[in-house]
């Protein structure tokens, strides 16, 4: 009859594998949630209060189920708003397809709606490209500074060097 020195080793290895899987799933869920919040923040149709309500709901999501059960009072307290503002914001988020919400007998059940994410990512990419294009056609960068009680400007040349303005003239 042989006795294993560490009989729970296989169980521990299996639970470590489960922990790794859970950790990867949690990391993926957290990244997706942050992407959702970034896209939501970029949506100009969303009010500041609606974003705060969505942020509170996203904070409370269960990573296994993707849902949360919150009362309007809890959301209002954490979003620093009134219950009526929570109801308006929740309605707006639902109408704009950012939030899935249903009322059960005991609680409000929320989950995130990811249908708008691709469209918002495209809009963010177009805005970034337009911003980069404007930067190409902009004049030299000017930074104001104050030194020894005297103010002036620093102009950055295209080669990355900068020149200080003294008495309205730039020094090489």
Where do the domains of the chain lie? Answer: 11-119, 139-172
Q: How confident is the model at residue 83 (pLDDT cuts 50, 70, 90)?
A: very high
What is the H or E stretch that residue 110 is in? Answer: strand 108-112
Q: Residue 1 pLDDT > 50, yes or no?
A: no
What is the H or E stretch that residue 103 is in? Answer: strand 99-103
Torsion angle of the four alpha carbons 155, 159, 160, 161, in this order, in degrees rounded to the nearest 10: -60
CATH 3.90.700.10, applies to 11-119: no
Considering only residues 165 and 91, tell me which one the structure prediction assigns the higher pLDDT: 91
**Full-model pTM:** 0.66
- Neighbour tally for 20: CB within 10 Å: 10
Residue with the two structure tokens 């290895």: 13
Least confident of 33-42, 66-75, 130-139, 144-153: 144-153
- Closest to 58 (Cα-Cα) out of 82, 79, 81: 79
Q: What integer is the mean pLDDT of 138-152?
A: 55
What pLDDT is attached to residue 50? 96
What pLDDT is attached to residue 3? 37
Considering only residues 38 and 145, tell me which one the structure prediction assigns the higher pLDDT: 38
Q: How confident is the model at residue 64 (pLDDT cuts 50, 70, 90)?
A: confident
């Amino acid at each position: 009859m042989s006795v294993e020195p560490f009989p729970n080793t296989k169980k521990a290895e299996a639970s470590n594998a489960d922990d790794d899987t859970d950790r990867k799933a949690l990391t993926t869920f957290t990244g997706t949630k942050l992407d959702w919040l970034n896209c939501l923040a970029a949506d100009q149709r969303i009010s500041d209060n609606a974003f705060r309500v969505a942020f509170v709901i996203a904070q409370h999501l269960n990573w296994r189920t993707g849902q949360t059960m919150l009362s309007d009072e809890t959301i209002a307290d954490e979003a620093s708003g009134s219950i009526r503002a929570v109801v308006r914001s929740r309605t707006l988020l639902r109408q704009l397809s950012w939030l899935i919400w249903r009322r059960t007998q005991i609680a409000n059940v929320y989950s995130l709606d990811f249908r708008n994410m691709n469209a918002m990512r495209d809009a963010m990419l177009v805005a970034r490209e337009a911003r980069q294009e404007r930067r190409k056609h902009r004049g030299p960068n000017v930074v104001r500074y104050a030194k020894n009680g005297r103010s002036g400007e620093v102009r950055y040349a295209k080669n990355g060097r900068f020149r200080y303005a003294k008495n309205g003239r730039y020094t090489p």
